[in-house]
Amino acid sequence: MAEATVNTSAAPAAATGARAHEPSFVYLVKDALATGAIALALAFPLVGFRTVDRGSTTIIETRFGQMFLGVAVIALGRFAFSLIDAGYARAILAGSGVLSVAWLLLVAVDPGGAAIFPLGWMSWMLVVSVALRAAYVSWGDRSEARGDAVSPGDRVAATVQRLAVFFGPVLLLFAIAMPLLPMADQRWVDLGILVLTYVMLGWGLNVVVGLAGLLDLGYVAFYAVGAYSYAIIAKTFGLNFWEALPMAGGLAAMFGVLLGFPVLRLRGDYLAIVTLGFGEIVRVVLLNWNELSNGPKGIGEIPRPSFFGMPFTPAPPQGVTSFHQWFSAHLWEIGFSPIQRAVYLYYIILLLALLTNIFTLRIRKLPIGRAWEALREDEIACRALGINPTNTKLTAFAIGAMFGGFAGSFFATRQGFISPESFNFIESAIILAIVVLGGMGSQIGVVIASIVLIGGPEWFRDLESYRMLAFGGLMVLIMIWRPQGLLAFREPTILLKPKAGPP
Amino acid sequence: MTATAMTTTAMNAAAALPLLQVDHLSMRFGGLVAVDDVSFTAMDRQITGIIGPNGAGKTTVFNCLTGFYKPTVGRLALSHSDGREFLLERMDGFRITQHAHVARTFQNIRLFPRMSVLENLIVAQHNKLMRASGYSVFGILGLGVYRRAEQAAVERARYWLGRVGLTDRANDEAGNLPYGAQRRLEIARAMCTEPVLLCLDEPAAGLNARESEELNELLKFIRDEHKIGVLLIEHDMSVVMRISDHIVVLDYGRKIADGNPEKIRNDPTVIRAYLGEEEDETLPPEVARDLGVRG
């Protein structure tokens, strides 16, 4: 079961080096050296030289030291991987585990001390991935010895899913308490809002992609419809956030049905292309329909949310109490701070995201949710069972779009300004990546993927320009190890309990 | 064996009413005539076998019956025992199951492989549960109406699981079942839609001798205890001849024979269709036709 993912490293010579025929030690060394040679050939032009701007001239610097270190790290890594596959997984696990912990301790004690390791965090990442791989394989060996039919990755996913029963509430408590913790400054709360927005979008899209299996690349269209509906309704009719929110969601759902009708007969790649087109159409319309959307200039001064009619402003107009004044009068003295609004927004999106989650979890156990999953599995069989595929698909589109619309309204009220630029294809791609990486149909997977994909780039800021590289590397690793998504493990929606009494 | 088949036929014939009336059914795909002017009647509470060599148009007849194709010409009338009549050729595919209660299985099994065995059977009761859940409104609110309906659906599923011997696999993924069990599950799933006519497309394909024996028993049980009509496409003669009350033989899209198993077994046209065309090569066509007429 683990063999399938073994031969993914650079060296083509390794393609034959599976565990089956116990390769000799000499062979493993040769294999590692061959990998090193390939790495050297690549690193020579890429790492070996670099151009440096010196005022008016550009000079070429050599970095052979770093280059050889890098090559050595790669060769060692390859050797470690081969040893893992040759049956020394536990030993390698222990060694690399000790090394990576030692590195962490070194950094904790003295940030300069990490220099003992060549190339700093890059070699650390390698050590960590070796450790992960070793853990994966030794787990696989154990379950193989027991004769399990389930792959270790699935077992991890199943365990995490089961733990989610306890883990979920803890995560929820953390999410509730987060803005009140002492370390929570504006940056943390803003990041929390961002992550939660994508969690909500991910959960919304999960209905369409994960449950109903309709690959939608234009989800951002509904996000845009929700945002613009909220902005226009709130500004034109003077409604507040909570009044305009359902309307915006309803309009987005309508657009979902509108998109659903023409694409009912399409599936797979064709559906993806058409939905992608729909996403672009909505953006281009918003860009050009000046009378409605104010074109590329966007819509500004969108009403910000108020706390039961109390705005979050330092100096409210005559006759209006602002939140901090009310709070000071009734509870305890606080001054005005912009973070108050951020915290309030944070709780709004938390509430909206939780609503999405509860709704999805419940609907999955209803006939319509089961019909979505059945439709994903086999549409023809569904028709033979009397399930109306048209209605079933349209409901999925509408409900997914509605949640996208809610998230869009929130986005508009949070930003106070929207323009078509915010609703690019890349947004759809990120939301889809969250759903796919998390494991299609998995609710907790979406949370983890959002934290990794949205929070990750923020946390990796210390890596500066290597940030996107680390991000891309992570995605590649996930696709190699868990092509079906991190937590793609499906719990049945209903279990047959043994009947009480005599059989 | 033949004797028992004959007695059941005789027994059922007394109570049998026409369930499905196929009149002048033709299906053309461009220039190809897949089914050419086929008429037959399937009786209620009987097993009607449809046999014929490969490419004879058997599955096309099924696809017309279950709404996957719109027949080019023809009338497909289904009469319920309460007197309601449905013209299947005018109905959308899923409505045929939903309203006319015709259920089918597929030649290449079509389960929901990543859903559990129990879920497969619950999905089959979708329309009933949708109504009970107030089109999801009551269900979201968690009202008792829906919970009771779901409980009833689980009980029905439990009954059929016991029938096809899959009770202890109920919570496993359907795709992980062995082949024979998947075949049985597909029949159980079709039965969960509460059909009046069950259409089985080669249910014995790929089954071993013991499994086809079990299948025979299951089909007889469905006919006798659930009192519905079964329409059966099958290549396995041991299955068809033993359990069918009535057999329709197709060849090149045409009906070449129609009758009880005994009659079909001795029909020279059928024998010729199955044993090949040697006679045509050695005899002039007029003589071959003559032979057919004489038989």
Output the DSSP codes for A77-100.
Answer: HHHHHHHIIIIIHHHHHHHHHHHH
Query: Which residue of A367, A374, A378 is in closest CB contact with B130?
Result: A367
Residue from the list B97, B127, B136 with its beta carbon closest to the beta carbon of A384: B97
Picking from B127, B161, B171, the nearest residue to A386 by CB comes out as: B127
Q: Three-class SS of residue B199?
A: strand
Q: Are residues A217 and A279 in contact, defined by beta-carbon separation less than 8 angstroms? A: yes
Token pair listed for A487: 């937590």
Nearest CA in chain A to B139: A366
pLDDT recorded at residue B282:
56
Query: What is the pLDDT, as a whole number, of residue B189?
Result: 92
Question: Please, which residues have CB within 8 angstroms of residue A378's CB and are 6 or more apart in sequence?
Answer: B110, B111, B112, B113
How do beta strands B197-201 and B102-104 pair? parallel
Look at residue A405 in the predicted model and tell me its pLDDT: 94
User: CA of B118 to nearest chain A CA: how many angstroms apart?
Assistant: 7
Mean pLDDT of chain B: 81
Give the single-character DSSP code of B83: S
pLDDT tens digit sequence for A6-49:
444 434 444 444 444 566 788 888 888 998 999 899 888 888 88
The values of phi and psi at residue A271, to 5°, are -60, -45
Over residues A459-464, mean pLDDT: 62
Cα–Cα distance measured from residue B201 to residue B105, given in angstroms and rounded to the nearest whole number: 6
Residue A254: which pLDDT band, with cuts at 50, 70 and 90? very high
pLDDT band for A177, please (50, 70, 90 cuts).
confident
SS3 B257: strand
Alpha-carbon gap, residue A253 to A273, rounded angstroms: 20
Q: How far is CA A41 from CA A70, A76, A80, A138, A213, in A?
A: 12, 16, 21, 33, 44
Q: Does domain A169-303+339-481 have CATH number 3.40.462?
A: no
Q: Which amino acid is at B84?
A: R
User: Looking up tokens 């890596």, which residue turns up?
Assistant: A463
- CB distance A495 to B171 below 8 Å: yes
Quick check: helix, strand or coil at residue B43? Answer: strand
pLDDT for A105 = 76
Where in chain A do CATH 1.10.3470 domains reside?
A: 169-303+339-481
Distance from CA of B259 to the nearest CA of A (A): 29
Residue A426 Rama label (left phi>0; alpha psi -120 to 50; beta): alpha
The span from the CA of A200 to the CA of B267, in Å, is 68
Size of interface A-B (CB pairs under 8 A): 124
pLDDT at A151: 63
Contacts of A371 in chain B (CB under 8 A): 123, 126
Helix (H) or strand (E) holding B54: none
Tokens of residue A446, six digits: 């979406």
- Give the model's pLDDT for residue A150: 59
Closest Cβ–Cβ partner in B126, B146, B157 for A386: B126
Quote the mean pLDDT of chain A: 80
The helix or strand, by DSSP H or E, that contains position A336, with its residue range, turns out to be: none
Separation CA B97–CA B111 (nearest Å) = 16
Question: Which of chain B's residues have a Cβ under 8 Å away from the Cβ of A381?
Answer: 106, 110-112
Burial class (CB in 10 A: 0-12, 13-18, 19+), A481: middle
Question: Which three-class secondary structure state does DSSP give residue B50?
Answer: strand
Q: Compute the distance between CA of residue A127 and CA of residue A96 in angstroms, rounded to an integer.
A: 6
pLDDT, position A398: 93
d(CA A44, CA A64): 8
Residue B147 and residue A493: Cα distance in Å, rounded?
A: 14
Complete domains list, chain B, with CATH: 1-101+195-262 (3.40.50.300), 113-194 (no CATH)
Give the pLDDT confidence score for residue A350 in this predicted structure: 92
Cβ contacts of B275 within 8 Å, gap of 6 or more: none
In our burial notation (b when 16+ CB lie closer than 10 A, e otherwise), range A260-277 reads beebeeebeeebbebbbe
Q: Quick check: A226 and A413 in contact, CB under 8 A?
A: no
B278/B274 Cα distance (integer angstroms) = 11
All residues of chain A having their beta carbon less than 8 Å from the beta carbon of residue B157 are 496
- Rounded mean pLDDT, A316-328: 74
Inter-residue contact A212 to A375 (CB < 8 Å): yes
Angstrom distance (rounded) from CA A171 to CA A177: 10
- Reported as a single tens digit per residue, the pLDDT across A278-296 is 999 999 999 999 888 888 8
Taking the C-alpha atoms of residue B261 and residue A185, their distance in angstroms, rounded to an integer, is 84
- Taking the mean position of all CA atoms in its chain, how far away is CA A476? 14
Top-confidence residue, A336 or A397:
A397
For range A138-153, the mean pLDDT: 63
Q: Do A366 and B136 touch (CB under 8 A)?
A: yes
Report chain A residues whose CB lies below 8 A from the CB of B110: 378, 380-381, 384
Compute the distance between CA of residue A402 and CA of residue A422 in angstroms, rounded to an integer: 19
Q: Which two tokens stand for residue B210?
A: 């013991």
The rounded distance, in Å, linking the Cα atoms of A179 and A68 is: 47
Side by side, which strands form the sheet with B47-51? B102-104, B197-201, B229-233, B47-51, B246-251, B254-259
Contacts A359 to B, Cβ<8 Å: 140
Q: Which residues pair with B86 in a beta bridge?
A: B78
In which residue are the tokens 């001795």 written? Answer: B266
Q: Residue A373's closest CA among A356, A392, A353?
A: A392
* Distance set, CA A256 to CA A271, A413, B14 (Å): 14, 22, 56
Backbone angles phi, psi at B136, to 5 degrees: 85, -15
Collapsed DSSP state (helix, strand, coil) of residue A48: coil
**A366/B140 touch (CB, cutoff 8 Å), yes or no:** yes
Whether the predicted pLDDT of A90 surpasses 50: yes
- Cβ of A494 within 8 Å of Cβ of B129? The answer is no
Q: Which residue of A has its CA nearest to B125?
A: A385
Query: Residue A368 is nearest to which of B103, B136, B176, comparing CB atoms?
Result: B136
At position A310, the amino acid (one-letter code) is M
Q: Do the bridges between strand B73-79 and strand B18-29 make them parallel or antiparallel, or are there none, so unpaired?
A: antiparallel
In this structure, the number of other CB atoms found within 10 A of the CB of residue B76 comes to 24
Sign of the alpha-carbon torsion through B21, B26, B29, B30? negative
The pLDDT, as a whole number, for residue A224 is: 93
Residues of A with CB under 8 A from a CB of B: 149, 359, 362-363, 366-368, 370-371, 373-374, 377-378, 380-389, 490, 492-496, 499
Burial of A61: CB neighbours in 10 Å, binned 0-12, 13-18, 19+ = exposed
B215, B200 contact by CB (below 8 A): no
Nearest chain A CA: its distance from B249 CA (Å): 25
* B103–A385 C-beta distance less than 8 A: yes
As a whole number of angstroms, the distance between CA A404 and CA A256 comes to: 10
Per-residue model confidence as pLDDT tens digits over B257-286: 888 888 888 888 888 877 665 544 555 566
CB contact set of B218 (below 8 Å; sequence gap of 6+) = B163, B164, B184, B187
Of the partner residues A367, A378, A496, the one whose CB lies closest to the CB of residue B171: A496
User: Is a pLDDT exceeding 90 seen at residue B100?
Assistant: no
Report how far residue B212's alpha carbon sits from residue B190's, in angstroms, rounded to the nearest whole number: 18
pLDDT band, residue A460 (cuts 50/70/90):
low
pLDDT in tens, A91-101: 777 887 787 77
